[in-house]
Chains A and B, each alone.
Chain A
Amino acid sequence: MADDYPKVDRVMGGASGWFSIALPAVLFLYFLGLVPQIAETPQVRGIEWVPSLGIGLSVLLDGLSLTFALLITGIGTAVTLYSARYLGQHPDYPRFVAYLMLFMVGMLGLVLAGNLISLFVFWEVTTIASYLLIGFNADSAKSRRSALQALLVTGTGGLILLAGMIVLGTVAGSFELVEILSQGEMLRDHPWYLAILLLFLAGAFTKSAQVPFHFWLPNAMAAPTPVSAYLHSATMVKAGVFLLARMNPALGGTEAWFWMLTLFGGVTAVFASVMSLRQTDIKQVLAYTTLMALGTLTMFIGAGTHYAIMAAMLFLVVHSLYKAALFLMIGIVDHATGTRETGVLGGLAKAMPLTGLAAALAAVSMAGIPPMVGFIGKEFMYKAGLGLGGFGAIWVTVMIFAASVMMFVVAGIVAWKPFRGELRQTPHAAHEGPWPMLAGPLVLGALSLIFGLFPGILAHYFVGPATHAVFGEVREVHLYLWGGINMALVLSLLTFLAGWLMYRRHEAIRDRLTRIEEGSRVNFDAGWDRVLDGLKALAAWQTRLIQTGNLQTYMAVIFASFTILVGATFLLRGGMGSGINYQADGIHPIQWTVLALIAMGAILATITSSRMTAVAALGVVGIGVALIFIMFSAPDVAITQLLVEVLVVVLVALVMLRLPHLPVRSASGFRAGHAAIAAAFGILSTLVMIAVLQTPFDRRLTDFFEIASWPEAHGRNIVNVILVDFRATDTFGEIVVVVIAAVGAYALLRGAPGARPTPEDEEPAQVAAADKGEKV
């Protein structure tokens, strides 16, 4: 995969490569320098960002955030060094670096944030970066699908989390973590506690890929290997776990918290470790063990005792060290041999001794064998599990036992099997990897050993302060390799035994699992496709329903909406007021005649199928309206109305001669519906009009115009004065309308073709583009 692109000649990725290595390295040293200080006293710093919304860029530096920051920058350095060699000659390498740096900044911001909303901002930045990185091989449809899946799953969780954060911030009265974390008791007793908890868990579980939201993570392995090592194993997927740990003092310690976390975490851990056995691609094997680790971490944070938190923090470090190393290792193997299949690889130890060494260091830690730090991690998990009371102790311990056995097996599959025995035929001849790619895994592996031999450093500077931050109170943390003969040790020995037995038979188990999986109806990945297809179908269905493309429907819906909304309001809010007060004042016969004329003209225009009759009827209506204006003292309006009416009739008649006859009518079913809408609309208009007429009229504007018209505006025709002086702006706009109507109509008609459209009319924008192209 890594070789089929046109290479660009860059040494270590060129300038962007060196920059990408230097930035995390410098940051790592900076954070390292902060360790002694922060281990003693956590700090809050920060700057204002959006104070009016209560959002600041505050930084909360404590054991938890600093440990994460060191993992992010430390493993970041290893990964960027590795990728400079691995992808440095890829044409899109600079973009890769940009995304990776974007991610690193986002991830650092996330763990260091001292404000919920700014935490969320960075949370989403990591989501975007992950999307772009998974889709890095954009030509591959699989990459694109996986990227979208990761984005939508974590994006969904993110949005739910946002709601949770807003509610939590509202309840706590602040978005500052320091304030929120100190109000744990109040929050846990709040009636919205459970809602807040569930919203947070939705965010954390999707990001940290807990069952049943796990399926995106194995698919995310479509990303280049350094990305898998960095984002989808060591750092980003731990953001959910981080969030849970961070919120533990505020939300943790309740029954709901305990069971939600231990159940989801436990199920995820066991499910994932079984699934990891089922894989043949070593990268997939590792992906599932990552899931397993995330489940374990969730479980222990949920367990919530001091020992459990300590075990979680320890395992966090342990896992990041060995898992990043293993991912990078398998990248080297893939690079060198062209395959990652367990069945194909074998005997690499001679050809790739250093890679083998790195793999061995990491895998021994993973298997939990002394003197690696992984052993300590496992011991303390057992102790923490056994230390819980009641059913919880059994549940957690059993889950840990199962997961640990599987990890032992997996360690054998990924780091033992490919390297021992006879060298086997692979697509490329196996050869040792270059030093920039080896450096990371070797250093990380060595750290697993060093921390195992000197657990005091780890306890004092990292696990202790982190546990303090998560647990909320200071208690001594003491880590050791040898704790005497106790239950945990017995369980460890049982783990090795069971693991060894299972490793011997792992291929048979795998075949069995494959058959079970193929027979199973539960397939989360396919379920995802169904959800997405369902969504598409829903979208298409509703859009066909609403946006029919048919003008008649549009018009009918708009008039119906108007009638229903306005009509309902009129009825519900009593728009009629005191009812209709009819006074039979004398109506002149001429008035009757004119009104009848208008009504009949309108109805005739509606029912006729002769266009000339219709035009004539419209003329009658227009003249009738003009007569009303004359009768009720509006001679100017009447004259204008007549003039315009004549113009309209002439224009319509002229155009009509060139247009077809009328009889394109609606189907009769439609006509009844349309008549109902029209009638309702008409009745409503009349009623509202009557209601308006029954309110007292405030004539003060006109009173002013009558007084001011002559003395101040020097006009005797008040209507004219209003038009040219009091409301001259309207008249100005009116003129603009008429001018633009002329310009627009002229433009529209000037290019009008004959009966047949000319080719020019086919596609204006393309022609437009072509025109432009010639012009320039």
Chain B
Amino acid sequence: MELLLALTIGVLMASSVYLMLDRNVIRFLFGLILLSNAANLVIFLSGRLTAGAPPLIDEGAYAPTGVVANALPQALVLTAIVIGFGLLAFTLALVYRTYRSLGTVNSDEMRLAEPVSAPRTTPHPDPTAAPGTPPASDPTLDKTDATTTPTGGEARA
């Protein structure tokens, strides 16, 4: 079972990485959720598995009778789950707010902080963005794709 679970973790990790590599920030969020789950499983599994014996002490006993599951990873996972939720909630708010402000969830189009000084392909000229970055045509920006794909804002409209 441990091996199979390790395999499942691998699938979760691979899926989440693939999602996080997407240029759509929403997909990144999905990846993040999966990755958190995978990390929690890593901790849980690292403490080894015990079936059917929750780490409880029976009434009247001073210590668990017989072998019970490893309690420490459970505590760690609990903490990690809650923390992960907090971060996820914030990130969700950030993505939402970013979309409202920039009109896109496509990270290719998020070029205000590090502007391309060549004629801007984004529909959001920002007078405050600092000019003066060395003239650059972005080697990673796939021009045809960027122009043919409707931006998030248009899709929504």
Contact = CB atoms under 8 A, between A and B. Distances in A.
Touch between chains A and B, by CB atoms below 8 Å = yes
B105 A664 contact: yes
Chain B interface: which size bin?
Answer: 35 or more
A702 B142 contact: no
A555 B155 contact: no
A573 interface: no
Given A605-B19, A706-B63, A661 B14 contact: no
Contacts of A648: 33, 85, 88
B128 A762 contact: yes
Given A678-B17, A766-B128, A686 B71 contact: no
A194 interface: no
Contact of B105 (A606, A625, A659): A659
A664 B149 contact: yes
B156 to A, nearest CB: 4
A665 B2 CA distance: 35
B23 A666 contact: yes
Given A550-B107, A681-B17, A689-B42, A719 B1 contact: no
A745 interface: yes
Contact of A632 (B10, B51, B89): B51
A551 interface: yes
A658 B18 CA distance: 24
Contacts of B123: none
A692 B94 CA distance: 36
Interface string B132-144: 0010101111100
A160 interface: no
Interface in B53-103: 53-59, 61-64, 68-72, 74-79, 81-90, 92-97, 99-101
Contacts of A544: 134, 136, 138-139
A709 B58 CA distance: 12
A580 B51 CA distance: 22
A652 B27 CA distance: 11
B6 A634 contact: no
A634, A652, A766: most-surrounded residue (chain B CB, <10 A): A634
B146 to A, nearest CB: 9
A545 B82 contact: no
Given A550-B107, A634-B54, A738-B85, A686 B46 contact: no
Given A559-B21, A599-B8, A710 B61 contact: yes
B26 A741 contact: no
A51 B30 CA distance: 58
Interface of A: 540, 543-545, 547-553, 555-556, 559, 580, 582, 585, 587, 591-592, 595, 598-599, 602-603, 605-606, 611, 614, 618, 621-622, 625, 628-629, 631-637, 640-641, 644, 647-648, 651-652, 655-656, 658-667, 669-670, 674-675, 677-679, 681-683, 685-686, 689-690, 692-693, 697, 699, 701-702, 705-707, 709-711, 716-719, 722-723, 726-727, 730-731, 733-734, 737-738, 740-742, 744-745, 748-749, 752-755, 757, 761-763, 766
20 contacts: A551-B23, A587-B4, A595-B4, A605-B30, A621-B33, A629-B74, A637-B77, A652-B29, A665-B149, A681-B17, A682-B10, A689-B46, A690-B6, A706-B57, A706-B63, A745-B94, A748-B97, A752-B100, A757-B101, A762-B128
